[in-house]
Structure 1
Amino acid sequence: MPRSIWSGAISFGLVTIPIDVVPATEDHSVRFHQYHLEDMGRVRVRKFCEIEDREIPQDEIGKGYEIAKDQVVAVLDEELRELPLPTARAIEIAAFVPAESIDPLRIGEGYYLQASGTVATKPYALLRKALERSSRVAVAKFAWHGRERLGLLRVRDDAIVLHAMRWPDEIRDPRELAPQEVALSDDEIAEAEHLIGRMTRDSLEGPDFVDHYTEALEQVIEAKREGHAPPEAPEPEAGTGAVLDLMTALRDSVAQAKASRGEEAEAEVHELPKKSAAARTASGETTKKAPAKKTAAKKTAKDTKKETTAKKTAARKTARRPRSA
């Protein structure tokens, strides 16, 4: 378990829960240092005092606020920890709100809140269970890293998670970036919804959600370590070069989504528009139906001929019979 980065308490109403704040995420990025490429000597950043013109060790370095060019006020870490604020040592819950009411843009890094000591176990479990049953998240205030912040508390499995939040004035207005209004047909929107349905997943698991960049970077490093040439990038798939309209692109995307899941492409049946009588005549459909009428006429003529022949045969038989005495 990673070490605690902050200790304090959760406070809501008259309830206080001692907690330790533990990072909830890990960074697996490949890290580089700076080197002098001619001799591979390590390049380091040294901290010098402008007045004494000498390198300063870390234990002599602190924070200062420049009021004027010739006036700097030193501020100690201890003074920051003891700020006259209720949120300096506590995560103070201000309200409970529906989770969907929080704009995701305002949500930042996540941290696990660990119950600190036996005394914190019951109130910690109480807050966790209450959040679960209410389907709410808590919005709190706390002071970290030189400023007061907003935070969001939610439940993940059996732990309470704290997300740092941005203040409303830290979110830029997107209206100046929005594209101009365009006309969209109902068919285009329906096809886009169809594509969304085909691409919907129950979880973010599988090869599509793996950090392939880090894997490729590790292969480059391993190849160079062994004295081999780095692996070459695969050639991009050649496109058709045809300019597709939006509906065609959407339908092709749906077919591609089906293929990626191993589904067989379904034959799409589209109702053709009905043609007018004039259009049918112009296209030759009326003429094509004429043979059927002729066939029917021929059948009728044959049937009539058969009936006439049958009557004549019957008449001859009757004439040949002997008359009774």
Structure 2
Amino acid sequence: MHTMWKGSISFGLVNIPIKLHTATEDKDVKLRTLHKECHSPIKYEKKCTVCDVEVKNEDIVKAFEYTKGKFVVLEDDDLEKLKKENEDKAVEIMDFVMMEQIDPIYYDRTYYMSPGDGGGKAYSLLRKALEDSGKVGLAKIIIRSKEQLAVIRVYEKTLVMETIHYPDEVRKAEDVPNVPAEDKVTKKEIDTAILLIDQLTTEFEPEKYTDEYRTALLELIESKRTGKEIVTPTEKEPVANVTDLMAALQASIDKTKPKKPAAKKKRAATKAKKEA
């Protein structure tokens, strides 16, 4: 597994050398853009909006636009020095909190943490302490030139670091338009909705959920590549246009209600009896 960051984390005076490994991967099917006429890849040029000439990489600088059309130019040396000063610091766990106190809206990316040379025992100590306390650690880390707030927790005997958003990066829920101020539903509607939820409740088995669009897209690509006939999938059952909320809930319950096998068993028992 590729190491994308090396350093150390500490809590109190305990220091643990660690390596970070990306825990998830994007499996989106990447499509190229081609010239329709000859099917050659399209080349995108970097051009100056004023000089109208192509610009080479060595002639490009980074800048911050502090107001429309006004920029502060930042030299690569300044950025590299700033990055180096912060990356060399050990990642310190600042606080420990209960995981339930962190809403999932804050989570960003997940990284596996493996112990560096000589860090196995300290790694095990932190893992066991987090498991027994039921808490997670909060730390700060510089990843790809950005300081990130991170949660350190245990996942299947492995320490993981999850970068999380700062509070000012999470938009306010009260700014979402057209959200009802209060619940104008009846007790019967609530009870029926809870019954439907109970019928659809199951154990979380991530393996049973698949990316159907990606599968269909790959099948389409393979069909075109090999010249096979593309089979159009059977049309899905049309969604019923039920406008009454209570009727929709009841129809959903009837549709998801487990089928009783009693009648089938009774017929099988009667048939066996006759044959005997």
**What TM-score, normalized to structure 2?**
0.81
Q: 1:116 — aligned with what?
A: 116
Say whether 1:99 aligns with 2:95: no
Change in Cα spacing, 1:63 to 1:179, as seen in structure 2 (3 Å) is farther
Say whether 1:186 aligns with 2:190: no
CA offset digits 1:198-249 (Å, max 9, x no partner): 1112122454x111111100111111112345332432323555x3532232
Distance 1:184 1:22 in 2: 48
CA contact (8 A) 2:83 2:145 kept: no
Q: Displacement of 1:55 after TM fit?
A: 5.7
Please list every run of 5 or more consecutive structure 2 residues that lacks an aligned counterpart in the other structure. Answer: 263-276
CA offset digits 1:58-96 (Å, max 9, x no partner): xx477633589686331236414322x4x6533221111
Q: 1:264 — aligned with what?
A: 260
CA offset digits 1:162-184 (Å, max 9, x no partner): 11110111111112322242422
CA contact (8 A) 2:61 2:73 kept: no
Q: 2:39 — aligned with what?
A: 40
Change in Cα spacing, 1:165 to 1:251, as seen in structure 2 (3 Å) is same
Distance 2:94 2:9 in 1: 11
Change in Cα spacing, 1:265 to 1:251, as seen in structure 2 (3 Å) is farther
98-107 or 10-19: bigger deviation: 10-19
Change in Cα spacing, 1:91 to 1:62, as seen in structure 2 (3 Å) is farther
Q: 2:218 — aligned with what?
A: 218
CA RMSD of superposed structures (Å): 2.8
Distance 2:183 2:159 in 1: 44
Distance 1:251 1:265 in 2: 22
Between the two proteins, the alignment pairs up a number of residues equal to: 255
CA offset digits 1:105-124 (Å, max 9, x no partner): 0011100111111x111111
Say whether 1:151 aligns with 2:150: yes
Distance 2:94 2:155 in 1: 20
CA offset digits 1:5-62 (Å, max 9, x no partner): 11111121111111111000122221111211210111123446888956636xx477
**What TM-score, normalized to structure 1?**
0.70
Say whether 1:56 aligns with 2:56: yes
**Superposition pairs of residues 146-295 of structure 1, within 5 angstroms:** 146-177=145-176, 178-205=179-206, 207=208, 209-239=209-239, 241=241, 243-259=242-258, 263-264=259-260
Which of structures 1 and 2 has the bigger CA Rg? 1
Q: 1:270 — aligned with what?
A: none
Please list every run of 5 or more consecutive structure 1 residues that lacks an aligned counterpart in the other structure. Answer: 267-325
- AA aligned to 1:97 is V
Change in Cα spacing, 1:71 to 1:213, as seen in structure 2 (3 Å) is closer
1:41 aligned counterpart, secondary structure: coil
Larger relative contact order (CA 8 Å, sep ≥ 6):
2
Change in Cα spacing, 1:73 to 1:255, as seen in structure 2 (3 Å) is same
Distance 1:70 1:162 in 2: 35
- AA aligned to 1:73 is L
Q: 1:65 — aligned with what?
A: 63
CA contact (8 A) 1:152 1:165 kept: yes
Q: 2:84 — aligned with what?
A: 82
